[in-house]
Amino acid sequence: MTMPLMRPKRKNPVLRTRQMNLPPWARGRVALGITAAAAEGRFELQTCEDCGTVQYPPREACHKCLSPRLHWQAQDGEGALLSSTTLHHSNDLFFRERLPWRLGLVQLDAGPTLMVHLHGEVGEAPARVRVGARLDRAGQAVLIGFPNEGSAHMADDKMLREMTSDPKFRKVLVTDGKTEVGQAIVRALVKAGADIVWVGHAEPWKKMGGLEDITALPQVTLVPLDLTNGRSVTELAGEIGGKVDIVINNAEVHRSFGIGSRRGTDVAKAEMDINYFGLLRLAQEFGPALKGRSADGTTGATAWVNLLSIYALSNFPPHGTFSASKAAAHSLAQCLRAEMRPAGIRVINVFPGPIDDEWNQHTPPPKLAGSALANAIVKALRDGVEDVYPGDVAQEWLERWRDNPKILERELAAGG
């Protein structure tokens, strides 16, 4: 049984901060199919369309019938642990700093035999296990063997915390606490065990409902943060940038209508100033601080979360300029992910459908509640994924976009 994680001791300021050493990250193009699925929380393997063989490792052709007609198919991961071993020595620097490390040989019920990392609650062979795919600190997929029935503290496993960004005992910055979504995120983080939650608020003279409620929580500290003001971002980064473990950028400006329904560019500029340039200002100030602390003990800097929109994938004309600003933020977030990956910082992009707020009052159901969005963000941190599409609308749009982006564009232009 996994022992509950204890609150880490305060770091000795005299000791040198460790630099991140990444696990082996080289993968061939074919093998990146596992990574693409793991980034969204799925475990997929190649399946031959001609003979039905499920194979691992990934190849260009079926190892049984040599057919090139292969597709990636989700697996349940059920299998039998054949043997296990514990490493006490490694030539790789990443694993050398984290020994001992347990590995196992698992034969899936679907056929292939895999070498996997073993969760601490998996017993000795023979035993039934469930294999899942997770992203490691280098952003590449690795396979982990889990027990079929785990304890309540499974997430505290030392090996699993290396693969995820669980907010437990970590310090988090939420950039906007004045919205219902922001307040729901704060409450979800506190419930998940976050040590400190800094909550940004611009325009302190403007009284907003619910802000006093979250301020009453002992873990919450309000901090001035205006993403349209570079000086405000710089000052906050100088104050807490060296302490933050997780940044959650939920600040946004959302206005309806497209191009021809509103004169001028003021609204579009306001959306871009927060949704795109706000993210850029935040990344320039807080990004280097997070990268410098990515290996700083058991609760080092670990993740960056961007609240985007499913409209970033394909423009939704009734919210045209907002969609464009989120598409720009999506592109910038991909750049941020590439720059943060060498430090082992995971960038998580969240693509919700319409949220149940004031800007979607006339949008018909289903709409995503703020609490559901907050829970999806916490789950993404715990599961170590990169892309999240919470809500029925987001899932439906994603499937239509993957099937044919041009058809989705035409359907949205016609009203949905």
| Domain spans, the chain | 32-163, 171-413
**Confidence bin at 1 (pLDDT 50/70/90):** low
**In the prediction, which pLDDT does 30 show?**
93
The Cα-based distances of 300 to 160, 170, 172, 291 in angstroms read 15, 8, 11, 10
163-167, 245-249, 388-392: which has the minimum mean pLDDT? 163-167
Query: What average pLDDT score do residues 387-396 get?
Result: 96
Q: For residue 354, which amino acid is it? A: P
pLDDT digits (tens, 9 = 90+) for 73-99: 999 999 999 999 999 999 988 888 889
Q: Which long-range contacts (CB under 8 A, 24 or more apart) does 312-317 make?
A: 312/351, 313/351, 313/397, 313/398, 313/401, 313/405, 314/397, 314/401, 314/405, 314/408, 314/409, 314/412, 315/409, 315/412, 316/412, 317/258, 317/412, 317/413
8-state DSSP, 1: -
8-state DSSP, 203: -
116 neighbors 103 (Cβ within 8 angstroms): yes
Query: What average pLDDT score do residues 372-398 get?
Result: 96
**In the prediction, which pLDDT does 85 show?**
96
Quick one: what percent of the chain has pLDDT higher than 90? 75
Token readout for 141 is 């997929």
**In the prediction, which pLDDT does 204 show?**
66
Residue 206 has pLDDT above 70, yes or no: no
**Summary mean pLDDT of the chain:** 92
**In the prediction, which pLDDT does 363 show?**
80
273 neighbors 202 (Cβ within 8 angstroms): no
Question: Cα(1)–Cα(344) distance, rounded to whole angstroms?
Answer: 28
**In the prediction, which pLDDT does 300 show?**
79
**Residue 246 backbone phi and psi in degrees, to 5:** -135, 130
20-24, 36-40, 308-312: which has the minimum mean pLDDT? 20-24
Residue 350 has pLDDT above 90, yes or no: yes
193-207, 231-245, 371-385, 397-411: which has the minimum mean pLDDT? 193-207
Tell me which residue of 271, 273, 274 sits closest to 262, measured CA to CA. 271
Residue 381 has pLDDT above 90, yes or no: yes
Residue 210 has pLDDT above 90, yes or no: no
Residue 134 has pLDDT above 80, yes or no: yes
Token readout for 305 is 């979360």
3-state DSSP: the chain helix, strand, coil percent, rounded to 5? 35, 20, 45
Query: What average pLDDT score do residues 146-152 get?
Result: 86
Residue 15 has pLDDT above 80, yes or no: no
Q: CB neighbours of 284 closer than 8 A, spacing ≥ 6?
A: none
CATH topology of domain 171-413: Rossmann fold (3.40.50)
Q: For residue 141, which amino acid is it? A: A
Quick one: what percent of the chain has pLDDT higher than 70? 95
Token readout for 210 is 């619910």
pLDDT digits (tens, 9 = 90+) for 284-336: 999 999 998 888 766 778 999 999 999 999 999 999 999 999 999 999 999 99
Residue 20 has pLDDT above 90, yes or no: no
**In the prediction, which pLDDT does 55 show?**
96
Query: What average pLDDT score do residues 131-151 get?
Result: 93
Beta bridge partners of 134: 142
Question: Cα(131)–Cα(391) distance, rounded to whole angstroms?
Answer: 26
Q: For residue 136, which amino acid is it? A: D
Residue 205 has pLDDT above 70, yes or no: no
Query: What average pLDDT score do residues 331-359 get?
Result: 94
Helical segments of 116-262, H only: 158-163, 180-191, 211-215, 230-240
